[in-house]
Amino acid sequence: MIILVTGGCGFIGSNFIRYLLKRVGNVEILNLDKQTYAGIGGNLEHMGFFEDSHYKFIYGDICDKRLIEKIFNEFKPDYVFNFAAESHVDRSITDSSDFVKTNVLGTLVLLECARRFNVKRFVQIGTDEVYGSLKEDSSSSTEDDKLNPRSPYSASKASADILALSYYHTYSIPVIVTRSANNYGAYQYPEKLLPLFITNLIDKKKVPLMWSSENPGLNVRDWLNVEDNCRAIWFIAVNGESGEIYNIPGKNEKKNIEITKMLLDYFGVDENMIEKVPHRLGHDFRYSISGEKLMKLGFEYEHLNLDYEIKKLCEWYENNQNWWRKLKDGE
C-alpha cells in the first residue's frame, strides 16, 4: 500500500508516519512537506526514519499543482492523508493569507489529483475548532452540528472540510474528514500551550497564561494524546465510510488554569511563575466534541490518564532539550 502523507514533518504528521511504520506495516510512505517553521525535518530524523527503506521524503508545497501531479503520476498513492496546514491561531490573526492559501487552495490541488488518479481513500485532517466556541454547560459538538469557525485559521479549516466533502458528493471521491481535539505529545513545536509552558519552566521562566479579571485562565480545551489521534485516524481510514465526518475527542476537558497548575506542581513551583497576559482576539471559550460516532465504529483509547501522560511529557522535554532548544533559538 502506497500512502501519501502531506505535512508529515509536522507534529501530528510525523507521529502518524511513525505509527504507520511501526504498527501497521506493509506500507510505503511518501512524506510531502515544505518544512515551514513548524514542519521540522528533524522530527523524523530524530525518530530515525530517514534510513527506513519504506519511507521517502519529498520537499514541496501542496499548492504546487505541477509537483502534486508529478507525485500522483509517478507513485500512484492508494491513500492520501492531508495533514499539511498552517495551524497556529495567533499567527492567523496577524496574517491570514497563508492560511487560506495552504489550507484551502492546497487542499483543492490534492483533491483534483485524487479525482484524476482514483485514490482509494482521501482523509482530510480537521480540527474541533470549526464548531466554534461553546459555553461551559453546552453539550459537546457532534458531526451534524452547524459549523461556526471564529478565527481565520478555523475558517480556513472549515472551508477545506466542506470542499473535501463536496468532492465526495460531486465526484464520488472516497473522502473522509476527521476532526480532532487539542493534540499533545512528543515533538510538538514549542509555541502551543503544553510544550511552551514545559520548556519555559525547565528554563525557570514564567508561563504566559491568558488572563483577565472576568476570565482568569478559565478557557476549556479537550486534550488528546497524539498517539491516540494517529491510531484513530488510521482506524477511521480503514473502517469508516466515505462521505462521513468523524470527531476524535480527547475525553480530557480541562481549564487552562488547571493544566497550568498541573505543570507547576510537576516542577515544584507556585503560581508566581504565571505571567498573566491578555486574551487573544476572539479567544474561544470552550471546545468539546462528541466521540459517540467513533466509539460505535469500535475504536479504543490507550492514553486517557492525563495526569500520567503529562508527567511523561514533561520528562520527554527534559530528556530532549537539544531538540527543542534549537527550535526556540531559531536554528
Q: What is the CATH number of the domain that holds 257?
A: 3.90.25.10
How is residue 77 written as a grid cell?
Answer: 498513492
Do 9 and 141 have their domain in common? yes
> In residues, how long is the chain?
331
Whether 129 sits among the annotated catalytic residues: the reply is yes
* Radius of gyration (C-alpha) of the chain in whole angstroms: 19
Do 178 and 200 have their domain in common? no
Query: From the candidates 55, 79, 131, 153, which is the catalytic residue?
Result: 153
Q: Are 181 and 222 in contact (CB under 8 A)?
A: yes
Contact 248, 232 (CB under 8 A): yes
Residues 84 and 103 in one domain: yes
pTM: 0.94
> How far apart are the C-alpha atoms of 45 and 30, rounded to whole Å?
15
What letter does residue 289 receive in the DSSP assignment? B
- Neighbouring CB atoms inside 10 A of 40's CB total 21
Q: How far apart are CA 65 and CA 278, in angstroms?
A: 41
CATH code of the domain covering residue 67: 3.40.50.720
Position 260 scores a pLDDT of 98
Distances (CA, A) of 120 to 33, 76, 117, 172, 240: 22, 10, 9, 11, 13
Asked whether residue 102 is assigned to any structural domain, the reply reads yes
Gap between the Cα atoms of 233 and 229, Å rounded: 6
Where on the phi/psi map is residue 217: left (φ > 0), alpha (ψ -120 to 50), or beta? left
**207 and 241 share a domain?**
no
Residues 312 and 302: their CA atoms lie apart, in Å, by 14
Residues facing residue 2 across a β-bridge: 28
Q: Is 299 inside any structural domain?
A: no
Residues 170 and 49 in one domain: yes
- Best CA proximity match to 107, nearest among 163, 42, 170: 163
Task: Specify if 293 maps to a domain.
Answer: no
Residues 159 and 40 in one domain: yes
Is there a single domain that holds both residue 94 and residue 33?
A: yes
Q: What is the pLDDT of residue 246?
A: 98
Q: Are 222 and 250 in contact (CB under 8 A)?
A: yes
Per-10-residue mean pLDDT for the chain, 331 residues long?
Answer: 95 94 91 74 59 87 97 98 76 66 95 97 97 96 96 92 98 98 93 96 98 96 98 98 98 98 98 96 93 98 98 97 83 51
Considering the domain architecture, whether residues 232 and 278 belong to the same structural domain is answered as: no
| 153 catalytic per annotation | yes
Alpha helix (H) ranges present in 131-216?
Answer: 152-171, 193-202
How many structural domains does the chain have? 2
* Distance between CA atoms of residues 326 and 136, nearest Å: 39
On whether residue 289 sits in a domain, the answer given is no
Domain that holds residue 268: 186-221+252-283+305-328
Report the 10 Å Cβ neighbour count for 20.
24
pLDDT at 317: 97
Question: In terms of domains, do 22 and 85 share one?
Answer: yes
pLDDT at 152: 86
Evaluate whether residue 276 is within a structural domain: yes
Rounded to an integer, what distance in angstroms lies between the CA atom of residue 288 and that of residue 291?
A: 10
Does 298 reside within a domain? no
Residue 32's DSSP bridge partners are 6, 58
86 and 160 part of one domain = yes
Q: Which entry of 33, 61, 86, 128 is annotated as an active-site residue?
A: 128
SS3 of residue 235 by DSSP: helix
What pLDDT is stored for residue 56 in this prediction? 93
The pLDDT assigned to 319 comes to 97
Write down the catalytic residue from 86, 129, 161, 227.
Answer: 129
Q: Are residue 200 and residue 132 in the same domain, yes or no?
A: no
Helix/strand/coil percent split, the chain, to 5 = 45, 20, 35
Residues 98 and 204 in one domain: no
The residue written with cell numbers 499533545 in the block is: 184
- pLDDT of amino acid 327: 80
